[in-house]
Structure 1
Amino acid sequence: MTTSPAAQHADHSSDDIIALVRELVSIESPSRDTAASARIADVLSARFEAIGGTVRREPTSAGTDLVIDVPGTGDPLLFIGHTDTVWPVGALDGEVPWVEDGDVVRGPGAYDMKAGIAVMLEALRTLQPLAVERRRAVRVVLVCDEEIGSPVSGPLLAARARGAAAAIGFESPHPDGALKVGRRGSARVRLSVTGRAAHAALDPEHGISAVDELVDQLLAVRRIVADPALPGPVLCNVGTIAGGARTNVVPAEAAAEIGLRFTDPDTERRVLDALAALHPVREGATVTAEVLSARPAWRASAQDAVLLEQISEAAAGVGQRIEGRPAAGAGDTNLLGGLGLPTVDGFGPRGGGAHAVDEHFLRSSLHDRVALLRAVLTIAAD
């Protein structure tokens, strides 16, 4: 990748870019809200078409994905992002209002990751005056279900990435601005238990408590993930538990959703196999473990290191220093890095509070990221 600082261009002010982020944040787009997904896809389609992109809208059962090709030279760089957020409709008028406080900008989904989409758009906009021979071709993929593990969009990524030279993810960077090269694998597993209902006082012996069985199964899960014989560590979070209806009825159904994180594929396989082999403690109960979504562990490769070095060289040309290291959280770049495509993530602006009420990004980091991306995409004149 040969890069140099981009030619002179007409910068938007920070206020202009912030206005774009606010427009995107104002369209609250929680995962699985297909109507909201279509609305934000409308806005982004128009924005990308205005900078010369060819937009394909790809409706799915989870919402609307966008695939945008922007003309340039060479095999395209693949930009990966998502339009869904963890926040329900109403968060903007409730616990996560839009706030601009000096360098800090807050709002639901602003940091994760609508500001990252704004970085893409602004960098591509500033490059449009350049001849196509002076800028890299780009393919942008914006999915609608990343926050729930990309169960629909994830299987489509490999086809969408076909022909790409490398992938850049626009999730948040490390707190110090370093890029993410390598990420833990993740899986969402639903553990379901069926027992038998009975009156809790008159004939409890005829019942099989699904809740009690679930408690014992979760203890078994704890032993599985803490097994010292596993090749790598496992992060395990029991995120939800549900079961039963009344205190005078032995519960017949119970379930838990579990989030798991892995540093290596072998540990992931062994843990998921052990969960699939769980058997009931109580005679007559049933236990099933269903993998709702999974992203493989992405271990940084030599090709990833080369891509990072190329980005670092481009950064030096615009007076920046860029480093990279592995990250704990998973994302769609796991799917691409795991396939062997040279990949880095974390091209969004700096900030913090992802998935929390203090979610925010730093206004001052927007132009740094735009300048870096512009440098990466600009081809030096001969």
Structure 2
Amino acid sequence: MRPIAAAALSVAFACGAAHAAPAGPDAKMIATVDAEQAKTLKFLETMVNQNSGSRNLEGVRKVRDIVVPEFTALGFAARWIPMEQTGRAGHLVLTHKGKKGAKKLLLIGHLDTVFEPDSPFQTYVLQGDKATGPGVGDDKGGIAVILAAVRAMQAAGTLKNANIEVFLTGDEEEAGSPPEVARADLVAAAKAAHVALDFEGLSREDGKDMGSIARRSSQSWTLTIEAKSGHSSGVWGERAGDGAIYAAAKIVNALREELPEPYLTLNVGLIAGGAEAEVAEDNAHVSAQGKTNIIAGKVVARGDLRTLSPEQNRNAMRKMEGIVARTFPGVTSARIEFSEGYPPMAPTDGNKALLAKLNQVNATMGLPAMQPLDPMKRGAGDISFVAEYVDGLVGLGPHSTGDHAPGETVDVPSIWTQAKRAALLMTRLATEKSAR
């Protein structure tokens, strides 16, 4: 992959100092979002106070039951896709059929949170312009933005012709297994869509709202090395060799020295070595046993690989496999295995064009243009699974801080700004004719 300089990712969008006040449907949508703030916050509070940790299948289904009536009242048809076969509750799909031949918009969010029923953090609290609670930003705040936006569209008369599919996964925080089954329906929805809008959190840099047109992959790997063992007095010898731990050290060091390039990172998160070593079934623990006077016969290590494009990801895996395949004294077997993980979302021209359209909305609203966020500052997410098939934007949900930890806090005014942006953007995209 040709390195993408930061300057190449930066897109200049000029918002004129003077702008006409929003009128017609735009003004109606903006006014509706403001008029329904209390209603939207009550909906958010109800969702947040229902625990929906990824492993709390019944809790995820209860959030589904909170969400469905709000959308069916607007003319959306609800469909539930059970996912118990992957160890998770399922996905909620809400479909609004509009004008034939118009672009189909895929809105992506999720019902689950990282906070399971045993977490001490369970309750929604509103204090001024801040609200705290499990998932208040990630991603129940995103669902609240979607609902506020489509309500505003209905009030302005722009929803009736819009083709919209809202896809809310029930396992974004801890995806079901196997991932190809857990994400098959989302991929199918993307292949039938023309635009994907992801309603996870809005990113800010130095107080400025940023547009996200790319996010890196997240892919786990497991390294297993087996070597000749024996009494430590024979280490480094021609017969015994160096053992598995020395080989692992050389491989890890080679990965660190030979892989770095723009937008690629590789982390070694777990490693264990000794006479015996193994990875636990949950893949979150490694263990080893042995003695100081025994040459290490086995090493296991786990880590993650993050890249910005499918090409960069493939090239990195080939390099890693090549390093592991080298000859090391005493090693009898060395292999590296890669998980499916989250694919990358590359900063394509189509994604940049969508950000330009969002900045036209910003101009209408009298807001500054949003510059592209450095993809090094955005983790993987569900939109990554569909980025190969459809143009998309990330971060249309509200701005929040402390995500994934007790005290997660949403900036309440950002809910209104994001809902207005989404309503105006979707209204404009919905009027565009489909090329297919």
1:84 has 2:108 as partner: no
Task: Tell me, in whole angstroms, the C-alpha distance in 1 between the residues paired with 2:189 and 2:52.
Answer: 23
Map 1:116-135 → 2, pairs under 5 A: 116-131=142-157, 135=161
1:295 has 2:336 as partner: no
Which has the greater radius of gyration? Answer: 2
Map 1:3-42 → 2, pairs under 5 A: 5=26, 7=28, 9=32, 11-42=34-65
Normalising by structure 2, report the TM-score.
Answer: 0.71
Equivalent position to 2:196, from 167, 173, 177? 167
Task: Tell me, in whole angstroms, the C-alpha distance in 1 between the residues paired with 2:345 and 2:407.
Answer: 29
Equivalent position to 1:147, from 164, 173, 182? 173
Task: Tell me, in whole angstroms, the C-alpha distance in 2 between the residues paired with 1:240 and 1:193.
Answer: 14
The match for 1:260 is: 305
The match for 1:316 is: 363
Task: Tell me, in whole angstroms, the C-alpha distance in 2 between the residues paired with 1:33 and 1:266.
Answer: 37
Give, in angstroms, the shift of residue 126 of structure 1: 2.6
Give, in angstroms, the shift of residue 112 of structure 1: 1.5
Change (3 A) 1:35 1:4: same
1:177 has 2:209 as partner: yes
Give, in angstroms, the shift of residue 363 of structure 1: 0.7
The match for 2:219 is: 187
Change (3 A) 1:215 1:107: farther
Give, in angstroms, the shift of residue 26 of structure 1: 2.2
The match for 1:337 is: 387
The match for 1:209 is: none
1:64 maps to amino acid: G
Give, in angstroms, the shift of residue 304 of structure 1: 1.6
Task: Tell me, in whole angstroms, the C-alpha distance in 2 between the residues paired with 1:167 and 1:238.
Answer: 33
Equivalent position to 2:265, from 235, 238, 255? 235
Task: Tell me, in whole angstroms, the C-alpha distance in 2 between the residues paired with 1:76 and 1:195.
Answer: 56
1:313 maps to amino acid: Q
1:220 has 2:248 as partner: no
2:42 counterpart SS class: helix
Task: Tell me, in whole angstroms, the C-alpha distance in 2 between the residues paired with 1:336 and 1:110.
Answer: 25
Is the CA contact 1:226–1:234 (under 8 Å) kept in the aligned structure 2?
Answer: no
Is the CA contact 1:6–1:374 (under 8 Å) kept in the aligned structure 2?
Answer: no
Is the CA contact 2:33–2:416 (under 8 Å) kept in the aligned structure 1?
Answer: no
Is the CA contact 2:49–2:123 (under 8 Å) kept in the aligned structure 1?
Answer: no
Identity of aligned residues (%): 24
Answer with 113-122 or 329-338: which moved more: 329-338
Normalising by structure 1, report the TM-score.
Answer: 0.80
Change (3 A) 1:128 1:291: same
1:170 maps to amino acid: F
Gaps of 5+ in 1: 202-211
Equivalent position to 1:138, from 164, 182, 193? 164
Give, in angstroms, the shift of residue 174 of structure 1: 1.6
Change (3 A) 1:41 1:177: same
Aligned-residue Cα RMSD (Å) equals 3.6
Give, in angstroms, the shift of residue 140 of structure 1: 0.8
1:355 counterpart SS class: coil
Give, in angstroms, the shift of residue 260 of structure 1: 2.1
The match for 2:137 is: 111
Is the CA contact 2:227–2:330 (under 8 Å) kept in the aligned structure 1?
Answer: no
Q: Provide, for residues 152-177 of structure 1, a one-character-per-residue CA deviation record: whole Å limited to 9, x for no partner.
A: 43343331123322111111122232
Q: Provide, for residues 302-333 of structure 1, a one-character-per-residue CA deviation record: whole Å limited to 9, x for no partner.
A: 22222112222123223333414142322222
Q: Provide, for residues 35-71 of structure 1, a one-character-per-residue CA deviation record: whole Å limited to 9, x for no partner.
A: 3332222222233222221111111223211121123
Is the CA contact 2:47–2:63 (under 8 Å) kept in the aligned structure 1?
Answer: yes
